[in-house]
Amino acid sequence: MNEAFKDLKERMRRLDALLESRGASEDVAFAQALSSLHRAARRGDRSREPTAELVTLLERAEGFGRRLA
């Protein structure tokens, strides 16, 4: 696995933990953003750098996550 993709997956895990602790009903937009990120990550090529789309989705989900923290 590419190091940048590994970092992306770690950041996703932190967001998952935040969602789990708060509950999906706390912020539906955050849950939807994280779900979109997971779907895009499944399609991603782990041997290469994350695509711009994936990075954008991650940053969007992190933005929603900051509002909850």
Q: Could you list the residue range(s) of the whole structural domain that residue 61 is in?
A: 3-68
Structural domains counted in the chain: 1
Tell me the whole-structure pTM to 2 decimals.
0.87
Query: Residue type at 68?
Result: L
**pLDDT tens per residue across span 5-61:** 999 999 999 999 999 988 777 789 999 999 999 999 998 888 888 999 999 999 999
Q: What pLDDT sits at residue 44?
A: 82
Check whether 69 has a pLDDT greater than 80.
no
Check whether 67 has a pLDDT greater than 90.
no
**What b-and-e string marks burial along 30-57, b requiring 16 or more CB atoms within 10 Å of the CB?**
bbebbeebeebbeebeeeeebeeebeeb
For residue 18 the two structure tokens come to 């935040």
Q: What pLDDT sits at residue 45?
A: 82
